[in-house]
Structures are given as C-alpha cells and as structure tokens.
C-alpha cells in the first residue's frame, strides 16, 4: 500500500511515477483519492466538533434543571442525529479511500524499463554457454515419458489438467533439487523454515495478493483459510504487527512449502508437461531490510539465486522486468530465465522482487533504533525464488539429455540423488 501522506502531499509525483504503467485509470484513482482525502478531513473535523459539543452538553444536562434541561436534551438529540449522519458519511468516505489504496500499485524504481510485455524486458547479464546439440533435442514432456519418471495422463484422470505424478528417479530428483537449494540458503546465513500451506485472508492482503489476484488463489470453503501460492506470504506474515530493532536488520529467511495456483489468468500454450502446473514445491527467500539498504539486499538475493543455477551448470540470463510485465506489489523485479532447448528459448525459473514498504505498510511491520525508542518507519520487504521443483527439472532434463535419451545428473545434485544419470526405460 502506498503512503497516504505521500499521495496527499505530492500527488503529481505519484502520478508521474504511476504514468509509467500506462494505465490512465491509476491517475484518475490518485485524483479521486486526493478529493476523498479532503472530504474525509472536513467531515472528520465536523465529527470531532460534534463529539466535543455532545460531551460538553452532557455535563451541562447533569447540572441543569427545568426548562433549561429540557432545551439541552432537545439540543442533544439534534447533535446526536447529526453526529450519526456525519459518522456514517465519514465511514463511507473512508471505505472509498481504502478501496483506492488497496488497488494502487507500488511506485516503480527508476531502473524499471518501459514496455508492454515480456518481449520488452531488459537483459542485464547472461551466464553459461548454450549447448550446441549434434542431434535434435527432445522436449521435457517426451523425456519424462521416455525415462518413465512421470505420469501426466493418469494425473489428469485423478486430479485434472496441470497436475502430474512423479515416479522413481523423478521423485528422487525432485527431492535432490530441494535439498541442494536448502543447503545453499543455509550456507548463505538464512534461517530455514517449513511453512504452513494455508494462511488467513489478511496475510494475502498484506502481501498484495488480494484484493487483486483473487482468481489465482485456492480458498477453503467456509473457512478464513487459503492455500498459499508461495511461502513469501507466510514468511512475511510471521512478523505482522511487530517492530524490529534497527541493529537486527536485515532479517534473512528461506521457506519451503508446497505452492498452489489456479493459473486462472494463464494461457493454454504451456499446458503440455509440467511447465505450468497447479501445484509444485519451492524454496523461497525472504528479507526484512532497512529502507536505506533494500536495493543492496536485492542484489544479495539475486546473487544467491544465481549461485543455485550456476551450481547446476544451467545457462541462464537475468532480466529486468518491464513496466507492462511487472505486478503491482514490486518496485522492481529481476527474473532468472534458464535456457530450455526443448522450447529453444529462455524461460523464467526464478523471480527476485523488492517490494519496498508496500507490504510492510499493510502488515504493520516497522523498525526502531533501540528498545524504548520511537518507531522510525516501515521496513522494506524483498523476496526471491531459490528454486522450484518443476521448471528447473525441465531445464535439467533438456540441457543434460544425451542422444539416446539418457539424462545426466548435474554434479552438484549427485550426492543427493545417489546416481549420476537416468536411462530410458522404453
């Protein structure tokens, strides 16, 4: 959530930034908020004055007698009626103000490139060499069948589209990917958590996944519980309504959880195989940072994520996500895109975002210099994928495949798998 004081005092600055998102409705919303804010303060002043009058009259009534008392009682009825009307008006204005605040996106960092979609993302750097195959590489869907390490068709029967069974070496490879990533984040000094798979609505709102984005969330009917799409939600929510000491920042976490996404807004072009699915597992990094240090922290986060993929010897590029491809919560997002020979293109495998104080303001996560000192402000929150189980598995299968269909296991994963290759079963 944006700072209401900033919108109130510098509306043109806010509009100039939001104009980069090329949505004229956002600028209209800022203007509407400014007017509502003026109205709110005017009505709030009236309410406070009426309450003062009511309290003053209540004391007079206690001392008055006869006609004077009756006159004061009559006046009190009028004051109460007007006050009730004004309080209702104040509440309606406040709800309209909050409606806008809940839907205005974060302000963009100056480095975010302008663009309409992922074709306009800016490549920052690339790592590794794209393999030059001397045979026609198979895509991951074909390799899964050839190696007999997954069953997509039967998963469709049990659960529907975009679900999958992994089997035998596929299960072990999945666990190896996760365990390897956990070791990397631990080596980088992060506390590792296994987090709940369900959260209350407030945590989804606080992290910016609600109210916009509700269609992508699985909800438990009759319960104030929702399946998480990322442990970012639970890790952020751990410290809701808390105040950090400045010397304790940054606080660096990593969380493991299953992730559930309806993919309601996704196209059908990635339905094949396990690229875009409703359920997967992920190790996510999350940081609470001092506002003055958060951009340094984003570089630290993306560095750890790159370390993971370099260890797997997977070619990748890092891209700065453009204005048209950037969600509402992040001020800047950097993606790691791994090379996938089966698609002959780079595809996203990790995202690293600085959300500045947008989430912290909703969740009331703040900091102070020392115990007993006044609260100084809101922390900045950052998140980054360490690794997921499906897309990196695709990249491994496709990049390390041999002509006969055998897939070699990256050296870093072999201590976790106990084997160095998966051979065709068909």
Just list the catalytic residues. 261, 276, 348, 351, 391
What is residue 269's three-state secondary structure? coil
**Kind and range of the H or E element at 86?**
helix 66-101
Q: Do the beta carbons of residue 356 and residue 291 sit within 8 Å?
A: yes
- 295 forms beta bridges with none
Task: Give dist(CA 394, CA 274) in Å, integer.
Answer: 8
**Kind and range of the H or E element at 416?**
helix 414-417
Q: Do the beta carbons of residue 159 and residue 170 sit within 8 Å?
A: no
Q: Is 129 exposed, middle or buried (0-12, 13-18, 19+ CB in 10 A)?
A: exposed
Task: Give dist(CA 171, CA 419) in Å, integer.
Answer: 13
Q: Do the beta carbons of residue 358 and residue 109 sit within 8 Å?
A: no
What is residue 61's three-state secondary structure? helix
Residue 212: CB atoms within 10 Å: 14
Tokens of 190: 């992060």
Q: Do the beta carbons of residue 392 and residue 280 sit within 8 Å?
A: no
Q: What are phi and psi of 219, to 5 degrees?
A: -115, 150
- 338 forms beta bridges with 316, 347
């Amino acid at each position: 959530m944006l700072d209401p004081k900033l919108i109130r005092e510098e509306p043109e600055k806010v509009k100039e930034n939001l104009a980069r998102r090329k949505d004229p409705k956002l600028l209209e919303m800022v203007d509407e908020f400014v007017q509502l804010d003026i109205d709110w303060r005017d009505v709030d002043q009236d309410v406070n004055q009426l309450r003062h009058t009511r309290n003053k009259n209540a004391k007079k009534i206690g001392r008055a007698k006869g006609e004077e008392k009756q006159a004061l009682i009559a006046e009190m009825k009028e004051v109460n009626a007007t006050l009730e009307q004004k309080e209702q008006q104040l509440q309606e204005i406040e709800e309209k103000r909050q409606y806008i605040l809940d839907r205005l996106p974060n302000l963009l960092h100056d480095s975010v490139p302008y663009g309409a979609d992922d074709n306009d993302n800016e490549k920052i750097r690339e790592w590794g060499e794209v393999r030059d195959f001397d045979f026609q590489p198979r895509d991951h869907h074909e390799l899964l069948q050839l190696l007999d390490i997954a069953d997509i068709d039967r998963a469709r029967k049990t659960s529907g589209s975009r679900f999958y069974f992994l089997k035998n070496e596929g299960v072990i490879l999945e666990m190896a990917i996760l365990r390897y990533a956990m070791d990397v984040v631990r080596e980088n000094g992060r506390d590792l958590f296994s987090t709940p798979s369900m959260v209350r609505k407030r945590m989804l709102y606080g992290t910016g996944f609600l109210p916009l984005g509700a269609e992508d969330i699985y909800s438990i009917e009759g319960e104030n519980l929702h399946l998480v799409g990322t442990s970012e939600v639970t890790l952020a929510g751990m410290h809701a309504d808390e105040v950090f000491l400045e010397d304790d920042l940054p606080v660096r976490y990593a969380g493991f959880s299953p992730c559930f996404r309806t993919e309601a807004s996704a196209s059908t072009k990635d339905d094949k195989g396990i690229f875009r699915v409703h359920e997967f597992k992920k190790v996510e990094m999350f940081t609470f940072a001092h506002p003055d240090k958060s951009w340094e922290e984003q570089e630290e986060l993306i560095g750890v994520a790159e370390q993971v993929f370099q260890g797997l010897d997977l070619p990748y590029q890092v891209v700065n996500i453009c204005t048209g491809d950037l969600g509402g919560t992040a001020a800047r997002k950097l993606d790691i895109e791994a090379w996938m020979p089966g698609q002959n293109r780079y595809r996203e495998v990790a995202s690293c975002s600085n959300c500045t104080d947008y989430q912290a303001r909703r969740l009331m996560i703040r900091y102070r210099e020392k115990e007993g000192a006044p609260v100084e402000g809101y922390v900045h929150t950052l998140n980054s994928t360490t690794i997921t189980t499906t897309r990196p598995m695709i990249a491994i299968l496709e990049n390390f495949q041999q002509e006969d269909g055998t897939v070699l296991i990256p050296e870093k994963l072999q201590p976790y798998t106990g084997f160095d290759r998966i051979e065709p079963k068909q």
